Amino acid sequence: MGPETAPPPKLPCIDLSSDELIPGTPLWDRTVAEVLRASVEFGFFEVVYPAIDVSERRVMFAKLAELFALPLETKWRNTHDRPYHGYIGGPPNNLLYESLGVDLADDMEVDRFTGLMWPQGNPGFRVMEYKPPEPSPDAVINLKSHTDTNFITVLCENSGGLEVLVDDGSGGTFAPLVATMPGSLFVFIGDAFMAWSNGRLRSVPHRVVLREDKPRLSTGLFMLPEGGWMIEAPEDLIGDENPRRLYRPFEYFDILTRCYANPVKNMSGQQVFNELLRL
Ligand SMILES: O=C(O)CCC(=O)C(=O)O
Ligand SMILES: [Fe+2]
């Protein structure tokens, strides 16, 4: 048997598709309140945002499949001195998960990346491919449970497999994130945002489990703070609920390095924040 997963509960889904979603309108204020509530209660939400239409997504995922089909030697060219920014996965480490990162993905960086990989353009996102287990009678965890260390992650995926830890009143169970609309994106609050918000927003453990005999492709936009700055919760977020700062000031890349310094690959970001920074 594969890892256990709960049936899908009602998870937050926020509609950002309306042209009338303009700052200052009641619709804007209601939507902001929904985003805040989902970030506090769940630490993630689905976004209905059909700006990338279904056919564009199909083209993008076909390109990504070509990208991951490149020889390993080509993908290895995408190196980076920061953990989790270059190429990850592939043999001999993990046959079931691969990812390629493009840092500060402006036009120049995307050109540099595509120059390494390909002559044509590609979106400047970290892209992930998960291979189904072979043969695949059972579900297999392709990406183990973790919280994201950064501020905000936006995921765009071609098929299911993503699961989040939801509170079931007895320590939590993993529930599949099933997109309610074909154009949906998934947004996750990361540990750095949790600490910056003085523990108000939640960073939620999630994982990837493939149950179908079909590879999963996913692109992620990972919003990180700039290096070299000390980050701490603003005064406004110290109040009735949390009358003092919960986390020490931190420099983001120092924390990221500590997450990956652990020999058993990584302490989860949440563990690092809680063990090293919690006041
Ligand atoms: O495959 C995905 O969409 C999730 C990837 C993920 O959770 C991560 O890279 O932090
Ligand atoms: Fe993640």
Number of domains in the chain: 1
For residue 50, give every residue at least 6 positions away whose Cβ sits within 8 Å of its Cβ, in sequence order, or none. 17, 181, 183
d(CA 236, CA 259): 28
| Highest mean pLDDT pick, 89-93, 133-137, 188-192 | 188-192
Q: Which of 200, 207, 216, 258 is labelled catalytic? A: 216
**Confidence band (pLDDT; 50, 70, 90) for 26?**
very high
Region 232-256: mean pLDDT is 90
Residue with CA at minimum distance from ligand 1 atom 1: 218
**Pocket of ligand 1, candidates 206, 265, 270: which has the most ligand atoms within 8 Å of its Cβ, to mutate?**
206
Of 159, 179, 152, the residue nearest 61 (C-alpha): 159
- What's the pLDDT tens digit per position in 98-130? 888 888 777 777 778 888 886 554 443 445 666
Domain of residue 197, residue span: 13-277
- What's the pLDDT tens digit per position in 169-179? 777 899 999 88
Name the pTM for this structure: 0.85
Q: The domain spanning residue 129 has which CATH number? A: 2.60.120.330
Sheet holding 140-146, edge to edge: 140-146, 206-210, 162-166, 173-176
Q: Decide if 1 is inside a domain.
A: no
- What's the pLDDT tens digit per position in 148-186? 989 999 999 988 899 999 887 777 899 999 888 887 999
Residue with CA at minimum distance from ligand 1 atom 3: 218
- The values of phi and psi at residue 40, to 5°, are -80, -45
Whether the ipTM is more than 0.95: the answer is: yes
Query: Which ligand lies nearest the alpha carbon of 203?
Result: 2
- The values of phi and psi at residue 277, to 5°, are -115, -15
Q: What is the 3-state secondary structure (H, E, C) of the chain?
A: CCCCCCCCCCCCEEECCCCCCCCCCHHHHHHHHHHHHHHHHCCEEEEECCCCCHHHHHHHHHHHHHHHCCCHHHHHCCCCCCCCCCEEEECCCEEEEEEECCCCCCHHHHHHHHHHHCCCCCCCCEEEEECCCCCCCCCEEEEEEECCCCCEEEEEECCCCEEEEECCCCCCEEEECCCCCCCEEEEEECHHHHHHCCCCCCCCCEEEEECCCCCEEEEEEEECCCCCCEECCCHHHCCCCCCCCCECCEEHHHHHHHHHHCCCCCCCHHHHHHHHHEC
Q: Decide if 54 is inside a domain.
A: yes
- What's the pLDDT tens digit per position in 195-208? 999 999 999 999 99
Residue 216 designated active-site: yes
Q: Decide if 91 is inside a domain.
A: yes
Of ligand 1's listed atoms, the one at least distance from the Cα of 157 is: 3
